[in-house]
Amino acid sequence: MTVTLNPQIMRSVEQLDYAVTIGDVATQAGLELNVTQQGLLALASEAGGHLQVTDSGDILYQFPKNFRTILRNRFWRLRLQELWQKIWGTLFYLIRISFGIILIISIIVMFLAIVAILIAVNSKDGDSNSGGDRDGGGFFFFPTDIFWIFNPSPDYNRYESRAGQSKSSSARSMNFLEAIFSFLFGDGNPNEDLEEKRWQTIGTLIRNQGGAIAAEQVAPYLDNITSSNQETEDYMLPVLARFNGYPQVSDQGDLIYYFPELQVTAKKRTLTAISSYLNEKRWQFSQADSGQIMLSLGLGTVNIVLALMLGGLLRQYGAGIAIASLIQPVYGVLLIYAIAFLAIPLGRYFWLQWRNQGIDSRNQKRQAKAEWLTLPNPKFRQKLQFAEDFAAEKVITAADITYRTDEDLLTQEALQSDKIDQEWQKRLESN
């Protein structure tokens, strides 16, 4: 049977110093408790972890600090996965720079084709002694006018020397070929880990509040709140399902929610700072420097101008010139690439404007819910006081452990018997 190990759980175990409860990892990774439990059992089974059980049934998972090495030695699949990640990093880099290389090749090919066609036309006109001066003058004007695209402008050179002062860390490491890819397709979804971040924050919020909260405290981190479910607090159902929570109603009708499994921890932990609301990042057109973007736009414009010029020359002289017949089969590809090079960023720009409007709207709604929590509201304060009755933190200590998988059962029974005898002796002495 194939064993699937969750990388989020592995990372959380390392961050929590290798001794964890289900609640610790679920909070750290933002995973459902059932998924966390299954993942921890699988990891403990394959990586030499041990279970320690308290008399109340709480489970502490203890992992060796070299568990990744153990897994790597046991599973060839994990070794291949790590190798593939390295290979894919190189392949993706080559893909990124390929668009810039293709652009430069396209410009060079079309420029040389135009020059060759004009030379051929000029030669024909020179041989026939008809209009040679006029065509020759047009030909010699063209290349001197177009050569600027192959030389960086003074402004671009100055941009290179200022790069360390004006660019962000991501843009600072971006060379020009990578910047062309960024200009075309952007730099990925800035909110790719939004759901993971959402549930990590909610889990941390619950843990900070001692495992008992009011629904209004979670609202700034959710998007499923509508006018119909706000009063009934149905938007709390996904939170309850993920972290095994339970509703409680006070005598005054106040409704709060508590999460017993998030109250159990392997180590006493300090309060973790979290944002007051879930802030979704706006999509950025490109992380490339403005100078790189302008140069990409300029080269794209030159590319499409050359494509149009080449198309006109092929239509006018294509039938009688050998070089034209060679370039004709690939001209369609060159033209499509030239158009797409400008059309894709243009369409993406307007799409990002529309998408960022939705992000701004959601952020404003979540921020408003966070600000509401700071307003004086006696009814809400009453709910918080009721939630404090259920707030607790249970730290598992060595004294709580009644069974562990890393020791012989007979030895544990003997130690447990001694422990019981000692407790009875203490009680008798106290009486």
| Partner residues linked to 428 by β-bridges | none
Give buried/exposed letters for 377-410 (b at 16+ CB in 10 A, else e).
Answer: eeebeebbebbeebbeebebeeeebeeeeeeeee
User: For residues 28 and 12, is the Cβ–Cβ distance under 8 A?
Assistant: yes
Tokens standing for residue 1: 């049977």
272: left (phi over 0), alpha (psi -120 to 50) or beta: beta
- For residues 364, 370, 374, 376, the Cα torsion angle rounded to the nearest 10 degrees is 80
Domains in the chain, please, with CATH? 1-74+397-431 (1.10.10.10), 98-258+268-393 (no CATH)
255: left (phi over 0), alpha (psi -120 to 50) or beta: beta
Q: pLDDT value at position 426?
A: 59
Q: What is the mean pLDDT of each run of 10 residues along the chain (431 residues)?
A: 77 93 93 92 88 86 90 76 83 91 94 88 65 42 38 40 42 79 93 94 95 95 82 90 92 92 89 94 94 94 94 79 81 93 96 96 95 92 93 86 63 49 56 58
User: How are beta strands 264-265 and 394-395 bridged, if at all?
Assistant: parallel
Q: pLDDT value at position 165?
A: 41
Q: pLDDT value at position 149?
A: 34
Phi, psi of 393 (to 5 degrees): -140, 125
Q: pLDDT value at position 170?
A: 46
C-alpha–C-alpha distance, residues 148 and 187, integer Å? 29
C-alpha–C-alpha distance, residues 359 and 203, integer Å? 23
| Partner residues linked to 188 by β-bridges | none
- SS (HEC) of the chain: CCCCCCHHHHHHHHHCCCEECHHHHHHHHCCCHHHHHHHHHHHHHHHCCEEEEECCCCEEEECCCCHHHHHHHHCHHHHHHHHHHHHHHHHHHHHHHHHHHHHHHHHHHHHHHHHHHHHHHHHHHHHHCCCHHHHHHHHHHHHHHHHHHHCCCHHHHHHHHHHHHHCCHHHHCCCHHHHHHHHHHCCCCCCCCHHHHHHHHHHHHHHHCCCEECHHHHHHHCCCCCHHHHCCCHHHHHHHHHHCCEEEECCCCCEEEECHHHHEECCCCCCCCCCCCCCCCCCCCCCCCHHHHHHHHHHHHHHHHHHHHHHHHHHHHCCCCHHHHHHHHHHHHHHHHHHHHHHHHHHHHHHHHHHHHHHHHHHHHHHHHHHHHCCCCHHHHHHHHHHHCCCCCEECCHHHEEEECCCCHHHHHHHHHHHHHHHHHHHHHHC
Q: pLDDT value at position 226?
A: 79
**Among candidate residues 348, 376, 396, the one with its CA nearest the CA of residue 56:** 396
Q: pLDDT value at position 76?
A: 75
Q: pLDDT value at position 130?
A: 47
pTM of the shown model: 0.76
Query: How many C-beta atoms lie closer than 10 Å to residue 273's C-beta?
Result: 7
Q: pLDDT value at position 199?
A: 95
Tokens standing for residue 39: 């993942």
Amino acid at 53: V
Q: pLDDT value at position 109?
A: 92
Tokens standing for residue 430: 């106290």
Q: pLDDT value at position 4?
A: 73
C-alpha–C-alpha distance, residues 265 and 227, integer Å? 37
Q: pLDDT value at position 88?
A: 87
Query: Would you give the distance in Å from CA 388 to the centre of its chain?
Result: 36
C-alpha–C-alpha distance, residues 26 and 48, integer Å? 21
User: How are beta strands 246-249 and 212-213 bridged, if at all?
Assistant: unpaired
